[in-house]
Structure 1
């Protein structure tokens, strides 16, 4: 039986407040070390941009393996 993990939810708007910035950074650091990922809210990215990113990722992962391999690159900065 696998253990359930609660996905940390981090409000990035708290980074603007000097009194909570340090605590938010610690929460991000802990999430990265213990779980490896987290969910953010109030990041300032529009809903249409996030929807487009999710749609594009979904289309990519639906591609046949051979097609995905043709798109692979060791250069993360390449266009």
Structure 2
């Protein structure tokens, strides 16, 4: 193959990688947004809950959700 054709194939390959990375980042942002919304709803439920046992359970769920969100943010930063 000639040099020009090889360079064209390389450019096509790299652009595919960039497109797939962009799609992954967009999907990750969407998931993080959903987690943030779920976090806000869960905080409101904790505030309105009167049963201490249920509040504890909801706060544990919130802790898990926050950990997932932190991991997601870290992954998103790595993708950039």
- TM-score, normalised via structure 1 length: 0.35
The structure whose residues are more often helix, as a share, is 2
Larger gyration radius, structure 1 or structure 2? 2
Which structure carries more relative contact order (alpha carbon 8 Å, separation 6+)?
Answer: 2
The structure whose residues are more often strand, as a share, is 1
